[in-house]
Amino acid sequence: MHYLVLLSAIVWSFTSGVAHGASSIQRESLRDLPGVTVVVEEVPSDAQAEGLSEELIRAAAERSLQSRGTRILTPVEQASSPSKPSLYVRVGTYRIQSNQYVYVVTVALKQSVVLAHRPQRKMFASTWEQGVIGTPGANSLGEATKVVEDLVSAFANDFQAVNNQDAVREEK
């Protein structure tokens, strides 16, 4: 019981507001990208049994991107882009009671970057990231998809803020 009270206090402190805005460095990392491919992490089986699925999460993310004019790249387009941009969406869940969960939603733009001290070395890194921890009401784990929409909307707003919608290009 002590752990449940502690966990509830931590969750309440994180969920008193939606994620804070991205930094200017994070926003700037989105400049001149051609769009993104959406990658959704696998949903745990117990959360799937409660109605949460990768398909619902993907649909929520893509709906938010499309409604704000952010291009969704095909896998071939993403692979041929020098930065290989992927919008990674993760909904982690932790069951605290038989029908009650804590969820952690993370949305991150991952792209190919080079190391300053070894420019020949390329790797993938998150250059934009936001997350939210929440506790939905009983039997309403699907609420996490609304959080996905909100976070992806924040990403799309930042993407549009640094890119001219008429001439989005990627530096070679």
Q: From 113, 148, 143, select the one nearest 130 (Cα to Cα).
A: 148
Question: Phi and psi at residue 90, in whole multiples of 5°?
Answer: -125, 130
In the predicted model, what is the mean pLDDT of residues 12-23? 51
Q: What is the residue extent of each domain of the chain?
A: 2-162
- 64-78, 127-141, 146-160: segment of lowest average pLDDT: 127-141
In the predicted model, what is the mean pLDDT of residues 132-161? 89
* CB 101 within 8 Å of CB 47: yes
Question: Phi and psi at residue 14, in whole multiples of 5°?
Answer: -85, -25
Q: What is the token pair recorded at 50?
A: 């409660």
The percentage of the chain sitting over the pLDDT mark of 70, rounded to a whole number, equals 81
Residue type, 41: E
Instruction: Return the pLDDT at 149.
Output: 96
Give SS3 for 126.
strand
User: In sequence order, which ranges of 42-163 are alpha helices (DSSP H)?
Assistant: 45-49, 54-67, 75-80, 143-162
Query: Is pLDDT larger for residue 6 or for residue 68?
Result: 68
DSSP result, 135-163: -PPTT-TTHHHHHHHHHHHHHHHHHHHHS
Please determine, for residue 83, whether its predicted confidence score (pLDDT) is greater than 50.
yes
* CB 100 within 8 Å of CB 138: yes
In the predicted model, what is the mean pLDDT of residues 19-30? 78
- Binned at pLDDT 50, 70 and 90, residue 50 comes out as confident
Across the chain, what does the average pLDDT equal?
Answer: 84
Distance CA 113, CA 97 (A): 42
- 19-23, 101-105, 142-146: segment of lowest average pLDDT: 19-23
Residue type, 79: A
Please determine, for residue 118, whether its predicted confidence score (pLDDT) is greater than 80.
yes
Distance CA 130, CA 77 (A): 25
